[in-house]
Amino acid sequence: MTTPAHEPKAGGNAGMDSEYLEIRGLCVSFDGFKAVTDVDLTVLQGDLRFLIGPNGAGKTTLIDAITGLVPATGSAQKSGSELIGRKVHQIARLGVGRTFQTASVFEQLTVLQNLDIAAGSGRSALTLLRRRKSALPAIEEALETTGLTALRDKPAGVLAHGQKQWLEIGMLLVQNASVLLLDEPVAGMSHEEREETGNLLRRIGGDRVVIVVEHDMDFMRAFATSVTVLAGGRVLSEGTVEEVQADPKVQAVYLGTAAAGDLPPVDADAIAEATEAVSTTDLEEAR
C-alpha cells in the first residue's frame, strides 16, 4: 500500500505550497435559527482534524456551508480561493470533496467504474461504462491507497459497509480533492473496519487537509492530531485531544464523560451555559 511521505501531525505541515482551509466568521441561519454562528477555523494540510460536538451542534451544517449545499455568510477559503457564494460543482472543482453519513456509490457498477466516473467528468457515459484495458494511474493509486485493488471488478453493491466508505473516499482521491470533509466515516463500522479507516485517514492525511466529523470518541482519540469542538453552532474549544478533553467547557457539555466511549446524552442547559461562557469571553476579549 502507498505510504505517505509524512504522517499527519498536530498543526499540519505549513509550507509554501501547503493546502489549507481558512474559515472566518461563518454563519448559517435557517429561517432565523442560527445553526452556525461566527465560526473561525483554520486547518493546514497534514493536520488530521476531528470536528466533534453534541447532536445539533452544527457540524454537518458547517460542512454543508463549505461545500455550497446551504447558503452562508462569512468566509471559507481553500488555499486563498473563496468558496462561499460558489456553486457546489465549482467548489468540487477547486478540490474540496466530501462524503456523507450514508455512502453514495453506484451499487450496480463495479468499484473500477465508480472510480472511473469520479475521475472522468467531461467524458461520455458510454466511454465511462466501457471496460478499460487498464485503469488510469490515479485510479490504480486510489485502489491501492483504499485497499480495494482486489475488489476492483466487483459491483459496489456487494461491498461491505466499510468498503463502500473507502470507495467513496477513493472517488474523492481520483477527483484530486486536497480538502476532504468526511461526515461520520466510521458510523456503523466494525472494530476492524474502524482501524482500517483510521489507517486510511493517516495515509491520505499527510498531504491533504482532512476534517472528520465524528461521534466516536475512541476513534477520535486514536487518530485525531487536533480537535475542534462545536456546541450550539459555535466553536467551544480547540486543541490536541488532551487539551480538548481537559477543557472544563467541553467537560460541561459532555457532562464530564467525553473521555468515555460514544457520546453520552447531552444536557441542553450545560450547552447553553458553556456557549454563553464562550460568547461572554469573546465579548470581553473584544472590548
Ligand X SMILES: Nc1ncnc2c1ncn2[C@@H]1O[C@H](COP(=O)(O)OP(=O)(O)OP(=O)(O)O)[C@@H](O)[C@H]1O
Is residue 6 within 8 Å of 40, Cβ to Cβ? no
Q: Is 57 in the site for ligand X (CB under 6 A)?
A: yes
Quote the least distance from Cβ 215 to ligand X, whole Å: 6
* Stretch binding ligand X (CB under 6 A), from 56-64, 113-121, 158-166, 201-209: 56-64
* Stretch binding ligand X (CB under 6 A), from 49-57, 236-244, 267-275, 277-285: 49-57
**Contact with ligand X (CB under 6 A): which of 21, 23, 35, 224?**
35
Q: Is 81 in the site for ligand X (CB under 6 A)?
A: no
Q: Is 49 in the site for ligand X (CB under 6 A)?
A: no
Quote the least distance from Cβ 203 to ligand X, whole Å: 26
Please state whether beta strands 33-44 and 81-82 pair in parallel, antiparallel, or not at all (unpaired).
unpaired
Question: Grid coordinates 476492483 are at which residue?
Answer: 152
Q: Smaller CB distance to ligand X: residue 105 or 230?
A: 230
DSSP string over 196-248: HHHHHHHHHHTTSEEEEE--BHHHHHHH-SEEEEEETTEEEEEE-HHHHHH-H
Q: Is 30 in the site for ligand X (CB under 6 A)?
A: yes
Quote the least distance from Cβ 126 to ligand X, whole Å: 37
**Contact with ligand X (CB under 6 A): which of 46, 58, 68, 97?**
58
User: Which 3 state secondary structure label does DSSP give 190?
Assistant: coil
Bridge partners, residue 213, by sequence: 51, 183
Q: Smaller CB distance to ligand X: residue 14 or 268?
A: 268
Retrieve residue 93's grid coordinates. 472543482
Q: Is 56 in the site for ligand X (CB under 6 A)?
A: yes
Q: Is 61 in the site for ligand X (CB under 6 A)?
A: yes
Which phi and psi angles does 90 have, rounded to 5°? -70, -40
What does the DSSP 8-state code read for residue 149? G
Question: Grid coordinates 485502489 are at which residue?
Answer: 143
Mention every residue, 6+ apart, whose C-beta is less than 8 A from residue 216. 186, 187, 194, 262
Q: Is 229 in the site for ligand X (CB under 6 A)?
A: no
Quote the least distance from Cβ 89 to ligand X, whole Å: 20
Give, in order, the Cα–Cα distances in Å from 175 to each of 97, 116, 121, 241, 267.
8, 10, 9, 31, 41
Q: Is 234 in the site for ligand X (CB under 6 A)?
A: no
What does the DSSP 8-state code read for residue 192? H
Q: Is 147 in the site for ligand X (CB under 6 A)?
A: no
* Stretch binding ligand X (CB under 6 A), from 1-9, 28-36, 104-112, 192-200: 28-36
Q: Smaller CB distance to ligand X: residue 39 or 119?
A: 39
| CA 163 distance to own-chain centroid | 17
Q: Is 185 in the site for ligand X (CB under 6 A)?
A: no
Q: Which residues bind ligand X (CB under 6 A)?
A: 30, 33, 35, 53, 55-61
